[in-house]
Structure 1
Amino acid sequence: MSIDMPFDCSWLRKQFDSEVLNNGDRAALRHAAKPSDMELLPGLYRLFPGLDTGEPHHRIAYLLPYARHAANAKPLGAQLAAAKISEARVLQVARSASPTDIEQLRRLLRQLDTALDWKAFGKLLWDWDEFSKRKLVKDYYLAKFTLAKGDK
């Protein structure tokens, strides 16, 4: 059972781009080697003031620098399919254990260089589990194998 996310990740993405974080904080978040490194970065606590942060916060902060926000953007899986990212790379994220799965996901985001709907993507990261990974894979395949209009 997941706990409801106590904040809006689209707002959080705006905070990342605002003066809440200085350039050093943003650079430190971008250069973290793994999600658990976030705990040692002041930028994490500036993004989540007054909150006792845990793994969901670390995952979100770890990926925040790698995708802009666009309301109603296509799901990540669909964008990966449209960008012709290989099935093997998407499945590698889904089959990997923590923290390797999130590290692989960050590599995909860096390659994709896109905008995501951070309300939806943030929720996916907050609840990150087997179901979330399956949703990513499902969105990928639904977009990849959608029949063109008129096809049967």
Structure 2
Amino acid sequence: MEKKELPDFMALYKKWKQLRPGPQAELRRIGKPDELIETPTFYRLFAGEAAQEWAKLAYQRLIFCLPCIKHTDEDVGLGKALARGKGVSEKRLFQVIRSEPPNDMIQLRRILQMVEPSVNWPRAAKLLWYWNQRSKRDLLEEYFMNHPK
């Protein structure tokens, strides 16, 4: 079985940072992942990077969350950043974990908009790329391992 290569997550982040303020604002106004399909900026970032449907959905998750995240070179995962963030209660995080798509992403993005976390983008992007029950659990575990007592 051959190992699949992950996309260059930093290249996607750099494309995002190079966008003009108007197109960036266009992505910030999106309310649901499905609305990206009707947004020209999505296609500028996506640029046909994926052929399989699951990969297209993964890119959609990345681009949906991208406007709410700042990159840092430190080794800070999404769970750790949310634990540091003010106002992220366990209850809100459990809403994300218990929700089904697309509501889980909508709930997560609302938290990200509130906190605007600084995370290691490639690390956070990998979590979003494989978004499933396991990655939700990883997010929750990292949150609790770094949550102040």
One fold, TM greater than 0.5?
yes
Structure 1 residue identity aligned to 2:111: L
Distance in 2 separating the partners of 1:5 and 1:23 = 31
Residues 76-104 of structure 1 show CA distances to partners (whole Å, capped at 9, x for unaligned) of 21222222521101111111001111111
2:73 equivalent in structure 1: 71
What value does the CA root-mean-square deviation take over the aligned residues? 1.9
2:14 equivalent in structure 1: 14
Moved more, 132-141 or 106-115: 106-115
1:105 equivalent in structure 2: 108
2:58 equivalent in structure 1: 56
**CA apart distance, 1:123:** 0.8
Distance in 2 separating the partners of 1:89 and 1:120 = 22
Moved more, 27-36 or 45-54: 45-54
User: 5+ unaligned residues in a row in structure 2: which ranges?
Assistant: none
| Residues 81 and 118, structure 2, Cα contact 8 Å, conserved in 1 | no
Structure 1 residue 130 corresponds to structure 2 residue 133 = yes
Structure index of larger Rg:
1
Residues 50-97 of structure 1 show CA distances to partners (whole Å, capped at 9, x for unaligned) of 334621111111111101111234112122222252110111111100
**CA apart distance, 1:126:** 0.7
Compared CA separation, residues 106 and 4, structure 1 to 2 (3 A)? farther
Compared CA separation, residues 5 and 67, structure 1 to 2 (3 A)? farther
Structure 2 residue identity aligned to 1:10: M
Structure 1 residue 43 corresponds to structure 2 residue 41 = yes
TM-score of the superposition, structure 2-length normalised? 0.86
User: 5+ unaligned residues in a row in structure 1: which ranges?
Assistant: 147-152
| Residues 10 and 117, structure 1, Cα contact 8 Å, conserved in 2 | no
| Residues 10 and 122, structure 2, Cα contact 8 Å, conserved in 1 | yes
TM-score of the superposition, structure 1-length normalised? 0.84
Compared CA separation, residues 87 and 132, structure 1 to 2 (3 A)? same
